[in-house]
Every structure is written in C-alpha cells, then in structure tokens.
Amino acid sequence: MQRVSLAEVTVNGNTAGRIDGGLLVLLGVGRGDTAKDAAYLASKTAGLRVFEGADGRMTKSVRDIGGSVLAISQFTLFGDVRRGLRPSFDGAADPETAECLYEEYVAQLRAAGLDVATGVFRARMRVESVNEGPVTILLDSTKLL
C-alpha cells in the first residue's frame, strides 16, 4: 500500500476509480488465502497509522484523516523470478478465488466506514498515483507472528 495525495485507475481510457488522498492498495491474492486473510488485511489497512499527526509523526490512520482507499487487484505481486527471466505466477490464486477475496476485502473496508474506489477485476488498467512521503508499506497475511 502507498500513502497518496492522488490516485486514479483507468480502463480503456475511462476512469474506473479515483481518490484525492488516502491509500492506494495493490492487492495480490495467493494460493491458500482465505476470507480470514482478507479480513486481516482490511483491518490493518483501515487502522494502520501511516499519516502524520500534529507532531509530524505517523500517528493517524486513513480513517482518522477522512481519506479514501483505491483498491486494485494485482496478481503480478506473486511474480516469482528466482528461476529464469520470465515471472512465474504459480503462487497467485485462481481468478475466481482471487476475485471473491478481493471483493471480500473491499466489502470489509466499506463496512469499516471507509470510502473505497476500485479498479476492474481482470482488466488491463492504467494506475497513476502521487506517493506522499514516499511511504510504501508491505502487508503480508502469511507473515503473522
């Protein structure tokens, strides 16, 4: 996820989703992911304190600042290039599972009271953003302690 002052996704030249400030989330769904993973990531996304408070430290969440989330499904996050020069996407979930869990993630964010814009699942999208900070955070539900 990236802290952004602006993010927009277009499909075939038409705006599918746009936010004026908040978080751009590139969501990859892996083999073996479940609704529990979607819920964990949604909770973290809503509550993660990556925005600056009055003291200049990261003390505020996207909810605290009244920001929005632009959630984009991106299976290429599972691109494995350890062998050869072409990525393998064997770690990515099948499209049907991925779409279901992506939609669950978005629903959880909306249930938490966040304004959520989205791309179009399985579409070729153009994503533009202005990363503030820059701040980019990796969340991985498989690395729970």
Active site (catalytic) residues: 74-76
Q: Who's near 35: CB < 8 A, 6+ residues apart?
A: 101, 104
Q: Give the chain as a 3 state SS string.
A: CEEEEEEEEEECCEEEEEECCEEEEEECCECCCCHHHHHHHHHHHHHCCCEECCCCCEEECCCCCCCEEEEEECHHHHCECCCCCCCECCCECCHHHHHHHHHHHHHHHHHCCCEEEECCCCCCCEEEEEEEEEEECCCCHHHCC
